[in-house]
Amino acid sequence: MQHLRSGLRNIKTTRLAAAAFLVFSLVLPILSHSLAYAADLTQSSVRFDRMQTSTATTGTICAKPATVATEADVQVVFPTGYTLGTAANFTVNTTNLAWPTGGTAWPSIATATNVTSQTVTFPSGDLTVGTLYCFNWANTAAVSIKSSASSSNTGTITTRTSVPANIDTASYSTASVTSDQIAVSATVPSTFSFALSASTDALGTLATGSVVTSPTPRTATVSTNAKNGWMVWAKDANTGLNSTSASSTLASTTPGTNSTLVAGTVGYNTGITTTQAGGSGSITVAAPFVGTATGQGGGLDTSLRALASSNGTADTAVMTIKNNVAISVTSAAASDYADTLTIIGAGLF
Amino acid sequence: MVNRKIRVLAVIATVGLASIAGLIAISKSVSAADNTGDFSLQISPSPLVLTLKPGQATSVELKVRNTGSQTEDLKVSPRSFKIDDKESLVFDDVQTPEEAKWITFGSPTFTVAPGEVMTEKVTFAVPKDAGFSYSFALVINRQKNAPSTGSGRQLKGSVALFTLINIDRPGAVRKLDLSQFTSDQSIYEYLPVKFDVKFKNTGNTIIQPSGNVFIQRGSNDATPISTLPVNKANGYILPGVTRTLKSEWSDGFQVAHTVMAVDGTTKQELSWNWNNLSRIPIGRYTAKVVAIYNDGQRDVPIVGEVSFWVIPWKLLLGLLVVMVLVGAGLWTFIRSILHMKKKHMHFRS
């Protein structure tokens, strides 16, 4: 009987120990969590005025406390790789430099007292829960952006008591980019060259049996160091070949669309083919003016239409301008069919 | 008598010299009136980008070099352009922009000999009540073109210089929105992955954004797999205008390249970069754009994300076939050994 009681007691003790262990293991994380971690700040941000890699910068720190306590300082952990100056470099001010909405001056904020590794400690006055406080560090010697670009550089802001014990904390994320402002170099000026090979394009005698194309097609040549490329436009003063003596016009074929002329049917268009010796740009002939096939091209009218463009620099980008014309048996005879083509080239921005 | 002879000789000499001078003047004026032949100019800078203050006159120098073979009589005049809803540049070589009234040229008309450089002084007298930004073109072309003779086309060349002016005055708003960030496909077999970063300038000044597209596995990765530039060509975005900037991820093992033939036609070619063998793109990726612009005080980041897959299925299939063949070979080899062993044991027994 005694053995039985003893056994039961042992079982009870074991169960109690197990239950205690279970409760303890459940409660401990909660306790340890509350002991080790502070509450989250309701709102927080660290804004860097410059985000380019390896660039010294000023910035703004904002935080909204969530816990009632008496703050004595605020610790800001800057992202890994950001270079920090000495504590004396972290001079501060509370000028509202486009702070987030509701931002007010951080009370008793002052020059940092300590910089250890990535952590900077600023003295602080007591903060009121629910108020968004901000301050700026005003010296670019304090922080320099890391040397590599990244979309996610993280750090933390923590308010502390005089003990010191953490009150509220929050993490923040920022980015670093390879270039934020465009440096203008004066040593190599940007240039744009444009050349038309001739000022006339005689088409000769036209016949109904064939589509006539410029016997010696003229060229427009572009060379530029403009990184955004170039564009060439054209327009036709008469929207076709016009004869004053015959009061007749061989009209441009459907301006704005690509067409291929057929012998015996009146038509007039301009086809473009291109070559390029070098440069970073790729030439694109505007769809209406693609002129790879015989008699293929687009009609021109009195509005400037883009003939071709490029998206980068160009070394001797040549556009060959082929004027195609076809006549019918009823086309009025004359020897003065003519028009004027205006061609404009420009470097893009 | 002698005096009379001398007087006659002097009159003849004077008349002769005057006639020669007259002929030279006439021939010169003919050449000035009728420029024929090739047209070839180089201008610098291109584009012309300025920040001016209201109520102040600022002069800049524009260099015009005659790279043609004949003396050119040229003129320069401001003209309008706009960017339409399709992001196309619509140029108008007839319309004079409103701001022309406060632009003056040192020499509105000028003559440049072949190989010579003409420095044109352009003065912008910005009125006190000027707006926040202006964009227009300065068009340089011949004062007169040769009259059309016979049948065919007369070609008139012009060079346009895009001019972008920001006015540094209170009320200027620099604001840029990220309208869209997309990849051209959602699933790729190999690189490149092409991204469109579409911005809209919602402020009233001309903006030049920059930044990076980060290729990473997750949204918040601290170390990107690849970092691509945004606005590599340093392009400008005009107020109220939407502009799509392109970025391309192409540093992989298998990459398709666009190859341009001498005749200007393009085709896709697949290349294998063995240096990137250890970095074969495979799986799901996140592209995160961090674009920034300067609002006059600081860098303002704009962030967007897009996900895509890279599945090099042909490469994987090839690898699988190789593995199956190796496995089958191994299996046959082992089976033949086992079979031989069995036969050997059977023989011994």
Which chain A residue is nearest to residue B45, measuring alpha carbons? A190
Q: Is the pLDDT of residue A256 over 60?
A: yes
pLDDT for the residue B30: 34
pLDDT for the residue B26: 34
Give how far B93 is from chain A: nearest CA, Å.
8
Q: Is the pLDDT of residue A184 over 80?
A: no
| Between residues A219 and A189, the one the model is more confident about | A219
Confidence of residue A21 (pLDDT cuts 50, 70, 90): low
pLDDT for the residue A185: 47
Give this prediction's pTM. Answer: 0.81
CA B182 vs CA A203, B177, B302: distances in Å:
48, 15, 15
Q: What is the pLDDT of residues A145-156, one digit of tens each?
A: 999 999 999 999
Secondary structure (DSSP) of B248-296: EE--SSEEEEEEE-TTS-EEEEEEE-GGGGGG---EEEEEEEEEEEE-S
Euclidean distance between CA atoms A79 and A173, whole angstroms: 8
Give how far A79 is from chain B: nearest CA, Å.
10
Closest CA to A109 of A132, A139, A137, A85: A137
Closest CA to A225 of B43, B62, B50, B140: B43
Which chain A residue is nearest to residue B233, measuring alpha carbons? A227
Query: Per CATH, which fold does B176-314 belong to?
Result: Immunoglobulin-like (2.60.40)
Pairing of strands B152-167, B48-52: parallel
Residue in B154, B164, B208 closest to A340 by CB:
B154
pLDDT for the residue B81: 97
| Between residues B261 and A242, the one the model is more confident about | A242
ipTM rounded to 2 decimals: 0.81
Q: Is the pLDDT of residue A186 over 80?
A: no
Give how far A344 is from chain B: nearest CA, Å.
5
| Interface contact flag, A204 B151, Cβ < 8 Å | yes
Confidence of residue A26 (pLDDT cuts 50, 70, 90): very low
| Between residues B336 and A6, the one the model is more confident about | B336
Residue in B88, B155, B298 closest to A200 by CB:
B155
Mean pLDDT on A55-83: 97
Residue B161 half-sphere exposure toward CB, CA atoms < 13 A:
28
Q: What are phi and psi of B25, to 5 degrees?
A: -60, -45
| Interface contact flag, A199 B45, Cβ < 8 Å | no
pLDDT for the residue A102: 95
Residue in A203, A231, A338 closest to B148 by CB:
A338
| Interface contact flag, B159 A346, Cβ < 8 Å | yes
Radius of gyration of chain B (CA): 34
Residue in B155, B223, B262 closest to A198 by CB:
B155
Q: Is the pLDDT of residue A3 over 60?
A: no
DSSP letter assigned to residue B318: H
Torsion of CA A7, A8, A11, A12, to 10 degrees: -140
Architecture of domain B41-145+157-167: Sandwich (2.60)
Closest CA to B291 of B276, B301, B305: B301
pLDDT for the residue A323: 93
Q: Is the pLDDT of residue A33 over 50?
A: no
pLDDT for the residue A31: 44
Q: Is the pLDDT of residue A278 over 70?
A: yes
CA B259 vs CA A65, B135, B263, B270: distances in Å:
59, 35, 11, 10
Burial readout B226-252 (b: 16 or more C-beta within 10 A, e: otherwise): bbbbbbbbbbbbbbebbbebebbbbbb
Residue ranges of the domains in chain B? 41-145+157-167, 176-314
pLDDT for the residue B346: 77
In CATH terms, are B41-145+157-167 and B176-314 the same topology?
yes
Euclidean distance between CA atoms B96 and B136, whole angstroms: 9
Please list every residue in chain B whose beta carbon sits closer than 8 Å to the beta carbon of residue A349. 47, 49, 162, 164, 235-236
pLDDT for the residue B143: 95
| Interface contact flag, B303 A335, Cβ < 8 Å | no
pLDDT for the residue A38: 73
Q: What is the pLDDT of residues B228-238, one digit of tens each?
A: 999 999 999 99
DSSP letter assigned to residue B240: T
Confidence of residue A29 (pLDDT cuts 50, 70, 90): very low
- List of chain B residues with pLDDT < 70: 1-36, 148-150, 260-265, 349
Q: Is the pLDDT of residue A25 over 70?
A: no
